[in-house]
Amino acid sequence: MELDKVGIEKHTSKQFDVELEDVRERVLTMGGLVEQQIANGVKALVDGDGGLGEEVSRSDYKINAMEVAIDEECTKILARRQPQAGDLRLVLAIAKTITDLERIGDEAEKIGRMAMQLAGQERPTSAFRQIEALGRHVRQMVRDALDAFARMDTETALAVAQHDSEVDREYEGVMRQCITFMMEDPRTIRHMLDVMWAVKALERIGDHSTNIGEYVVYFVGGRDVRHVGMEELEREVKSGQRNAAKNA
């Protein structure tokens, strides 16, 4: 979908459109890499693949570099174009989105490191099946958040936040199971703690995805919806849609 179809007017300067489209595409490329890092991190953890874990841990610098480059580009656009209203909100939403993407990358890196430490260790199958499922759900959240960002679609952005409470429940379940293993066999404590840090990292990735969804709602509706709670978030998305329909 083109930028002009998602509520941003065409600019008198064609070059400005090109710049905005370029930075937006770079965010999506960065998002794709982040998704891949999560997928590999979880796979390394579940399969006990230390080599893959190391690869994840070593690849994080690419995400960091992308964040710095996109951030610089945003600063240049602000300085050169002095965007107003929706354009300004878009640039600011991008700057915030990449901060959360970068931190998702950090969490994926941690999962990779834990996978390295846990490679070759015995692993309780049931817990790891649950972790695999949690990893799938969290990745879906990241994908939905990026999809909401790509299409500036508040409905999808809202779905991310709604998904987060399910993920939190699943997370609690895995954690409880880890505690049970520890109590049954205290010799597993050290390893189970590494598992728990990785699971915690997955839960945080869910939180960061929710943040990205909130920036989309902010961009579209102009209202900052962080910290407002789910009900108000739903109201905001609906009222934003009514306004959009009126203006159509």
Name the one range near a second copy by CB under 8 A: 16-24, 69-77, 142-150, 153-161: 69-77
Backbone angles phi, psi at 222, to 5 degrees: 80, 5
Contact status: 61 vs a second copy (CB under 8 A): yes
Determine which residue in the list 13, 15, 29, 64 makes contact with a second copy, applying CB under 8 A.
64
Name the one range near a second copy by CB under 8 A: 4-12, 16-24, 60-68, 163-171: 60-68
Contact status: 186 vs a second copy (CB under 8 A): yes
- CB nearer a second copy, residue 136 or residue 223: 223
CB of 221 to a second copy, least distance (A): 14
- Give just the sign of the alpha carbon dihedral 83, 88, 94, 99: positive
Per CB under 8 A, which of residues 202..231 are in contact with a second copy?
A: 224, 226-227
Q: How far apart are CA 68 and CA 150, in angstroms?
A: 20
CB of 240 to a second copy, least distance (A): 18
For the chain, how far is it from start to end, CA to CA, in angstroms? 18
Name the one range near a second copy by CB under 8 A: 17-25, 31-39, 47-55, 175-183: 175-183
Determine which residue in the list 82, 169, 242, 245 makes contact with a second copy, applying CB under 8 A.
82
Q: How far is CA 81 from CA 84, 87, 98, in A?
A: 9, 10, 20
Q: Which residues bind a second copy (CB under 8 A)?
A: 61, 64-65, 67-68, 71-72, 75, 78-79, 82, 84-85, 88-89, 92, 95-96, 99, 179, 182-183, 186, 189-190, 193, 196, 224, 226-227
